[in-house]
Structure formats: C-alpha cells, structure tokens
Structure 1
C-alpha cells in the first residue's frame, strides 16, 4: 500500500502556531467594559449631580444679577 501523508493519522492535531488556543482564551475572557460597568455607575451619578448643581448655581446667579 502506498504512503499517503494527507491521510488521517492517529496523532492528536496540534496547532503549530497556537492561534486556536489564543483565540479560545480571547473568547473566554470577560470584556473589560463589563468588568468596569459597576464602578462607572457611581461616577455617572456624581457627574449628573454636579451638572444639576452647576445649573442651579448659574440660575441663582442670573436671577440675582438681574
């Protein structure tokens, strides 16, 4: 029988570059934005409160200036 190098072998298939393993690790990794989502809510609330306070101060200054 002739030797066929493209025939399936009884050896485990190993990715020589490791790209499959690296891609799988990337897919399994949690996205950075999801990890920081909880800490961003407090910051967003503080920015909103500061914006409302700034508008109130400007409104009071305009009210008493006129």
Structure 2
C-alpha cells in the first residue's frame, strides 16, 4: 500500500518547488513575536513592582 505523502526532499526538483511555494514564503515572512513577548514581560515586571510598592508603602 503506497503512502499518499510525498517527501519534498526526495529530489532537488521537488525540494525547489516546495521551497518556492507560496505557503513556505508566508511562513518565512511572518513577523517576529519577540517585541510582543518583551513588551508583555516589561508590563508584568512593572505591575509587580507597583503592587509591591503599594503593599509596602
């Protein structure tokens, strides 16, 4: 029973077609989430600092 899945790395021509497909380009051009994660981390640290300042003050 043959598999339905075709491995794009099976040969050079298939891999090039896979690498230049619109789906792979959309994944490669996705914006980075690092600034969002850093922003959320900074807000969390500031919130903890404000709560601690209010509790101790």
Q: Which runs of 4+ in 1 moved over 3 A?
A: none
Question: What does residue range 1-66 of structure 1 map to in structure 2 within 5 Å?
Answer: 22-24=10-12, 25-26=14-15, 28=16, 29-30=18-19, 36-41=27-32, 43-66=33-56
What 5-or-longer segments of structure 2 have no aligned partner? Answer: 1-9
Higher-Rg member (1/2)? 1
CA RMSD between the two structures: 2.5
Bigger RCO of structures 1 and 2 (CA < 8 A, at least 6 apart): 2
Question: Which structure 1 residue ranges, 5 or more long, are not aligned?
Answer: 1-21
Taking structure 2 as the reference length, what is the TM-score of the superposition?
0.52
